[in-house]
Every structure is written in C-alpha cells, then in structure tokens.
Structure 1
Amino acid sequence: MNTLLSIEKRNAVLSRMAELLEQERDNIKTVNQQDLNNYSGEDLAMEKRLLVDDAKIDGMILSMQQLASQEDPVGVERFNFDHENGLKIINKTAAFGTIMIIYESRPDVTVEAGGIAFKSGNKILLKGGKESLLSNLKIVSLWHQALEENNIAKDWVEYLNYNREETQAFLEKPTQKIDLIVPRGGEQLIAFTKRHATCPVIVSGRGNNFVYVNKEADLQKALDIIINGKTTNIGVCNALDKVLIDSNLENWQEFATNLVAELQKYKVEVLGDENISKATNVPQIESDLIWYEEFLNYKIVIGIVDSNEEAIAKINQYCGGHSASIITENNAIALQFMEQVDCAAVYQNASTRFTDGGQFGLGGELAISTDKLHQRGPIGLQHLVTNKWYIYGNGQIR
C-alpha cells in the first residue's frame, strides 16, 4: 500500500513538472522527431497521435497547472450517518493504490495520465507503445526529476518498457499489486488486456459515434456539426463516423446532396445505405456490418431512418456506447433521444468532438470509459478514487 503523500507534495510535483516541460520543450520535440522518423507511417491516425508539437506541449503544461490547482480528490466525505447507538459512520474517497494504463502512440498521455493518477494519490504504471518509446522515456525522466527534487520515490511514476509477450506475462502474474488497469486504444488492445488481466479493467477507446438529423433540425447547424465531428481530428475516439437522416425532413434528398458535396471537399470517403446511394450517387454499403465499424479515417456512412424510434434503436444496436448527438429544435424530442440512447455522452445540437475531460471541465482525463462500472465517459481526477468507511465508536458491540 502506498503511503498517501500530502496534497502540498503532490501539487509541488505537478507544478515542477509543468516547469520542466517548458524548459525541455525543444529536447522533447527533437526526441519525438526520432520516433516519427522511425515510424513506418502506415496508419495516419496513429501518426497524428504520435506527433508532439508546441501546441501539444502547451496542452501538457496546461494540464499539469490545472491539476495542481484542483481540489484534492482524496478524503472527500460522501456520506455521514449517526447511528442511534452513538456510532459515527462516515464514507470518504480513497486512492486506488496502483493503476496501470496501456496506451498507443500518444506521448501526451504519459503526462496527463501520470498527472491525474499521481494527484489522486495513486502510483501509476505506464505501458506505452513501441512507436512512441523515445518520447515516453524522455517525459518519464522529467517525472522522475520532479519527484526526486521533492524527495519522493521515483517509483510513483513507472514506465514499463515491455513487448507484447512481457506485457501478457505481467498482466497474468503481476510482479507487484495492481488495483486497476485502463487500456486506452484500439479494440485489439482492449480485448488483449481483458483476456489476460487478473484485476478490474475499465475499457476506454471505442468511438463509432452517431449524429441524427431530426425532421425539425436547423440544417446549417447540422452541416457544421457533421463537418466538425468528421474532419477536425480523425484519429480520436470522439470523432464522427455515422449520420442518420430523418426521412420526414422536408427535401431530405437536397440536404443529403449538400452534405455529401461538403464532405467531399474535405476528401472524406462517403458511403450510403440504399436510399442515400440512390439520392446522391455515393457508393452503397455492402453490408450492415459496416455500421459497427469505427473508422479513425476520412470515411463516413450516411443512412435514412423513418422515425426517432428507429434512429434510437439503430444507434443502440451499432454504436460504441461513446457519444451520440441529435440535431433538432424540438427540445422534447431531444430529451427523449438523450434519455433513450445508451451512450456515455448524449448531445443536442453540438459536435461529439466535445467528449473530453478538458472540455467537460475535469482538467483532462485518464481515459474515456465506455463501461458502466465504476465510471462512464471521461475519467477525471474526481473519478480515479474508490471509497472507504470510517466508523468511530466508544465501545459499541452488536
């Protein structure tokens, strides 16, 4: 069990980490360039996530500063009960202990996940992908410097430089106690972790997000939201993959044609169901299985539904449980949609690209959970805790 560090010590390490990231900015970019040069480049989304530029470093620094200024998530009272026999019973948040995160190609996770885990009183084991090894090792060396300068053991933030076989062996027989594992990445990574892990796993990563254009939609909003969701960053789990259009929308064929033309300006490959294909001449999907797919690419599927109920049923059947948005000016229909769609985040008239810990005011996230236990959606500082009961007596027996 890790001894809980005082909040002052935890915040001092985070503030120092922010300073070190600024000081080492050029070195981090140089090291990252080596990772980029070594990367084969077959996966565009992976390459985008691998790059560390000034904007990403600014984000890392901001994340450390925000975390340092946030309230301590540990020791927060959640329940207080006075028993009739005089016992005082209190429930408070407590650190998990040791958290392992497995992730691919994103050096910023080495900063953000490390910071969130450390601030919430947890030791973190970072298992990054081989494609970002040099960037990750550089960032971990800064963590170790910040810890040592504050007289704290380096093993609070540990990097596991393991290959696939070593990772599997570690998951099946950990050489230290692990309380929680968060795999953050593609479906293969998640399946691999779930298959081999011997402790609780929170699944994060799968998107396949939907936008439903209801018959009472503002079509300019719909167009802007779809373009934003699809084209601003293809390599993230909150990107948009599927669009459903209400056949009761007046002149839906005209809207669909405009939408396809707009998407094609951004070099997006557009596929449609039978109705959309006939109306807009885009290629027709070969099978309904494509509705399950997350693309992480410039690719989108558009389909027609005949009612709100059909839209809700289709989203619940195919989506990844991450995010879904309805475009409508009818608030009652929006509420029905939001209550019945089974996703971590549901939207009215906004882009799915906002499903993100920083955007939701959490000061970053460890991951975005599509599980329901113990936390759903962005996992921020406040959620990286378990709880514990404190009972004060003066000799009571039952």
Structure 2
Amino acid sequence: MNQLAINYASDAKSARFALAQLGSAQKRTLLHKMADQLIAHSDAILESNQQDMVNGRKSGLSNAMLDRLLLNPERIEDMADSVRQIADMPDPVGEKFDHRVLDNGLELTKVRVPIGVVMVIFESRPNVASDAAALCVKSGNASILRGGKESIHSVTAIGRALKHALSEMKLPAQVVTMVEDADRAIMEDLLRMTSSIDLVVPRGGEGLINYVTEHSRIPVVKHDKGLCHVYIDQYADMDMAIRIAVNAKTQRPGVCNAMETLLVHQSIAPAILPLLCKEMTRKKVEIRGCEASIKLCPDAGIVAAKAEDWDTEYLDLIMNLRVVDSLEQAVEHIQQHGTGHSEAIVTENYHAAGLFQKIVDAAAVYVNASTRFTDGGQFGMGAEIGISTQKLHCRGPMGVRELTTTKYIVSGSGQIR
C-alpha cells in the first residue's frame, strides 16, 4: 500500500481530534480566516488555474468542462462568500434531541456529532475544494480532498491558501488535506482505508461515480449524474412554462441540475412548442425530438432522437423533447430514464401537481419552478458537498447537517441490568 496514502489517512484521523475540541465560535473564526486567505492568495490561485486551463484545452476538454474549471476574480469572491455563509450558519454539532427517561430512570439523549474523516473526490470545479473544506470544518470533520488531474494546480493552490488560516489558529494542517498527486493508485489505496476514513463522497461524472462505488470499502454517498426532466402539463401557464424550461436548460447547461429532457402534454403541445422551440433555437440549443414534436415544429431543425439520447446527460446546449399522452406517461418516462436527481412539473392543476410530487421518485421534485434550484447555496446551506441521489443516509444537497451523525448520551444513577 502506498505510504503517502497511509500518511494522508492517518494524519487526517489524528487531526480530527484537534478540530473536535473547537467550539462554535472558534470554528466560525477559522472559517472567516479561510475566506480571507482565499482573497489574499487569489493571484496565486488564478495563476495556477490558468495552467490548468491551458492543459485542459490541450487535452481536449469540452466547453462545459472548461467552464467548470475556470476561475476568475468574481468566482474567487463567490468562493470566499460561500465560506463566510457557512461560517455564519448554525452549528449542528452538539445539538440535542429525542430526550427521554426510561422506566428504570436512565436518561437518554441523542446528540449530533461529526462523522469523523470525510474524503471528497471531485472533478473539474476547483470551488468544490473550498466548499467541501468549509462544510467539513463547520461540521467538525477532518477532510481529505482529491480533485481531478485537470484541476490539480488550482486545487493545490486553494489548499495552500486555506492552510494559512489553520496555521493562524495553531491547528494541524491535516485538518484539511489536499491530495496534491493525481496518481490514481493513491486514490485506490485511500478507498481501502476503512480504519481511518469514515465516509467517501464522489462528485463528478458517471465514470468517477461508478469507479468509486466499485472500488471503495468505505461507505459512499453517491452524487450520481443529473438526468433532469421538466414536464409541461396540459394545464400549464404557457408563459411560465417557457420561462422555466428555458431557464432549466440554458441558464448554466454544464451542471447536474440542468434540464436534459422536456416532456410536453399533447393537448398543449401544438400551441406551446413553436414558441418554445423558437426560444430554444435563439439560445443556440440543439433539439433532439420525438416524431410528434418534429411534425409540430417542422422548421425548428429538430433532429430525430435516438434511443440512447433519453439516457444521456449532455451537460451542454442539447436537449431532448417528447410529446406525451398524459401525466402518467410523463411519470413513466421519468421513472424509466431519470436518475433520481431533480424533476419538475409546470401546471395550474392542484391534483396534477400533488400526484406528480407524490409518485415521482427523486431527491427534489418541483412544481412550477426550475430544476436549477437544486443546489446547496440556493437551499440556504451556504454550499454543498454534493447532491446525493441515493436514499441512505441523506438525499439531495448535502450541507453541514448531512455531514453529521448521532450518538446516545446515557446518564444513570447506578442502574444495572
């Protein structure tokens, strides 16, 4: 086993105990210092990011991936603001609930506590490094953060900036560990460190998720791909429906909560599709549609959708379009092709809205709103460590609270069994 991987894991496990001794006020101070250091070292971070961008273009990264990778002064300010928001959120650690006294006099209280050591493996987006580090600090967890090879220089620079704040607070540098080596063998060894690492969160493309899930011996919270749908019901307000669909697809197409497939009820399709396709075309969206949608919009340049298109996460200005016979057929399509991320219905019908929310199985189900809101920052979490599409132990955007577990505090007066 790689000695570097052993050191990363054991050092993080030791550092968690130093972090566990910090109170809420001290963690808040540390996080504000981290935000300040991101700004103070922005020139070095931007210089490192430019190196990654040059390498990314040479290696043929897609425009969507390059957009995720890019940092600029505004995005670094956003990163710092995110850390400050996390700093000022309520601290879940130590929260007491489910208090009761048993018949024998034993007093039971459930208390929220850190998970321990959390490893986050991510691709492309360097801001994940500072978000994940801040969320782990706030929840009392030591973190091991491993970015993809395409962002290695940016992530390393961000990690070095954050460590200045740890030094100011006289805390071990390993409270936040950035894996500065892109060697996959190190990651494989870390995924076997069950005695030191308590949770793994992979955040990236389908290949990364599958790889980590297959190789990890440590519990994994999956951030699966986002194959999100918007369904325009027969009772939808057309102006609202167009606004929502266009926003869900085009506001930022290279992210997991962007819409990939638009479903439209046959009753409203003749009226709304020409308008909607015109707007999507204006936004430079390529449309891959069913036979009915092509007939309704013969001049929209719709390409006939292939079977595999319905299961494709484009992360680009490409979308699928299907006309459906009913709400039930829309739900059936979502259940067959969706990934349990975010699904939306646009309707003015109360029964249709309620039925859709009840039977669609996803982490976030929307009525009359864009799927683009499935985001830790938008949900008031400050940031997210990922968006869980599984059902244990958390689902949807993972914030500070989702990075804690519980234990029972039991107090007695000499009871024996």
Query: Normalising TM by the smaller chain, what interval?
Result: over 0.9
Report the CA distance between 1:24 and its aligned residue: 2.0
**Residue number in structure 2 paired with 1:83:** 102
Instruction: Establish whether residue 362 from structure 1 lines up as the match of residue 402 from structure 2.
Output: no
**Residue number in structure 2 paired with 1:57:** 76
**Residue number in structure 2 paired with 1:21:** 38
**Residue number in structure 1 paired with 2:150:** 131
**1:42 corresponds to which of 54, 61, 86:** 61
8 Å contact from structure 1 (residues 205, 367) kept in 2: no
**Residue number in structure 2 paired with 1:174:** 193
Residue by residue, what CA displacement relative to the aligned partner does 1:121-143 show, whole Å, maximum 9, x if unpaired? 00100010111111111110111
Tell me the distance in 1 between the aligned counterparts of 2:250 and 2:21.
43
Report the CA distance between 1:101 and its aligned residue: 0.4
Tell me the distance in 1 between the aligned counterparts of 2:345 and 2:319.
17
**Residue number in structure 2 paired with 1:120:** 139
**Residue number in structure 1 paired with 2:277:** 260
TM-score by length of 1: 0.96
**Residue number in structure 1 paired with 2:304:** 284
Please list, as runs of the form range in 1=range in 2, the aligned pairs for 1:196-345 lying within 5 A after superposition: 196-249=215-268, 252-281=269-298, 282-287=302-307, 289-345=308-364
Tell me the distance in 2 between the aligned counterparts of 1:245 and 1:380.
34
Amino acid at match of 2:294: S
Tell me the distance in 2 between the aligned counterparts of 1:238 and 1:166.
31
Amino acid at match of 2:284: K
Identity %: 39
Q: Secondary structure, in 3 states, of the residue corresponding to 2:304?
A: coil
**Residue number in structure 1 paired with 2:209:** 190
Amino acid at match of 1:286: K
Residue by residue, what CA displacement relative to the aligned partner does 1:264-305 show, whole Å, maximum 9, x if unpaired? 111111011121122223221122x32121111110011011
Closer, same or farther: CA 5–162 of 1 in aligned 2, 3 Å: farther
How many residues are paired up? Answer: 394
**Residue number in structure 2 paired with 1:162:** 182
- Residue range with higher mean Cα deviation, 304-313 or 235-244: 304-313
- Residue range with higher mean Cα deviation, 112-121 or 71-80: 71-80
- Residue range with higher mean Cα deviation, 324-333 or 211-220: 324-333
Residue by residue, what CA displacement relative to the aligned partner does 1:347-370 show, whole Å, maximum 9, x if unpaired? 111110010011011111110110
Instruction: Establish whether residue 93 from structure 1 lines up as the match of residue 112 from structure 2.
Output: yes
- Residue range with higher mean Cα deviation, 329-338 or 96-105: 329-338
Q: Secondary structure, in 3 states, of the residue corresponding to 2:303?
A: coil
Q: Secondary structure, in 3 states, of the residue corresponding to 2:287?
A: strand
8 Å contact from structure 1 (residues 210, 319) kept in 2: yes
Report the CA distance between 1:382 and its aligned residue: 1.2
Amino acid at match of 1:158: T
8 Å contact from structure 2 (residues 120, 143) kept in 1: yes
Residue by residue, what CA displacement relative to the aligned partner does 1:170-190 show, whole Å, maximum 9, x if unpaired? 31x328611000000111000
8 Å contact from structure 1 (residues 325, 352) kept in 2: yes
Report the CA distance between 1:42 and its aligned residue: 3.0
Amino acid at match of 1:170: L
Residue by residue, what CA displacement relative to the aligned partner does 1:326-377 show, whole Å, maximum 9, x if unpaired? 1111122111101111111111111100100110111111101101111100
8 Å contact from structure 1 (residues 217, 327) kept in 2: yes
8 Å contact from structure 2 (residues 86, 381) kept in 1: no
Tell me the distance in 2 between the aligned counterparts of 1:329 and 1:8.
47
8 Å contact from structure 1 (residues 328, 334) kept in 2: yes
Report the aligned-residue RMSD: 1.3
TM-score by length of 2: 0.92
Report the CA distance between 1:162 and its aligned residue: 3.5
**Residue number in structure 1 paired with 2:50:** 33
Ranges in structure 2 where 5+ consecutive residues have no aligned partner: 1-12
